[in-house]
Amino acid sequence: MASEKVDGFAFEQRHGKARVRLGRVWRSQSGGSHNFVEWTVGISLLSNCLAAYVRDDNSDIVATDSMKNTVYAKAKECTQQISVEEFAILLAKHFTSFYEQVTTAIITIVEKPWERVYVDGQPHDHDDAQELMFHIKLISCSGFKLGSEEHTTEVIVEKSGALRVTSGFQGLALLKTTQSGFEKFVRDKYTALPDTQERMLATEVTASWKYPFESLSAIPLQPSYFTERYLDVKKVLVETFFGPSKGGVYSPSVQNTLYQMATTVLNRFPDISSIQFKMPNIHFLPVNISSKDNPAIVKFDNDVYLPTSEPHGSIEATLSRIRAKM
């Protein structure tokens, strides 16, 4: 964010609208399936409205209520289903082109993970997941799932057409009951943790990856590009975490597993320039219970655990491609 000189000071400012809640249904004209999304949109505009701060002149301010209304108006204009990335780009392009004083638009979107319901083994042909919670009580069905992880994106568009797109997810809970250990770490007078080659490994992954596109003209034209890449990356990350279906893969630490996940993504997808992870080590503590009269009320044998949410280990890392110098 560029700073301006005001009364001998360097001044930076932006304004926007946070947590704009949006639900959008796309209904098939032929009477087939409906598609539904629920998004939380954030808007932040960098604009030439210094006068509002220093001279009580609001003539260059884009009202945040107008920003909120724009979200719903642009959603109405989208007659075909689009991804969170495409909608964020659409909004950012609008704000930087419609308002002369806006130099940069930053759009963030979080998508709630509604998934289609299957009834009697078949996808239900029109209801969204929330509506079907009532129907499930009345008819038999193969199952219902509201996913845990949320699809996220951040898009930055400048008036010049410069572009930055970041995709990701948050809240992907993963756990395996074996094939994990932690040993040969630093030991000192504060260390109580024993070495182990057999422990529970659980985490809640937050991941974000950046695309190399630097301008609006560089965005791939193929339909569903961002949605397909999002699903592909998530699939690769989960497969790398668990390993092959026969035998799995051993994890010597959360750090090593994180690195394997990151390198697999960059090696598999040349259109991703970097990937960042937050992977807390969520602890499941062995349960041993004894008393004076009974020394083995519960004796741990890799079977009974106490789940905990805090404190937890905190592991973060970013892996990026090294760009060749010209």
Active site residue ranges: 17, 64, 283
Quick one: DSSP state of residue 115? -
Question: Mapping DSSP to helix (H, G, I), strand (E, B) and coil, where does residue 54 land?
Answer: helix
Distance of alpha carbon 195 from alpha carbon 193, whole angstroms: 7
Distance of alpha carbon 201 from alpha carbon 281, whole angstroms: 7
Residue 72, φ and ψ in degrees, nearest 5: -70, -35
**Which residues have CB under 8 Å from 39's CB, separation 6+?**
21, 22, 23, 24, 84, 87, 109, 110, 111, 112
Long-range contacts of 303-310 (CB under 8 A, 24+ apart): 305/200, 308/282, 308/283, 308/284, 309/282
Give helix 225-242 / helix 84-98 axis angle, nearest 10°: 140
The residues facing 320 across adjacent strands are 274
Strands of 95-142, DSSP E: 102-112, 118-119, 122-123
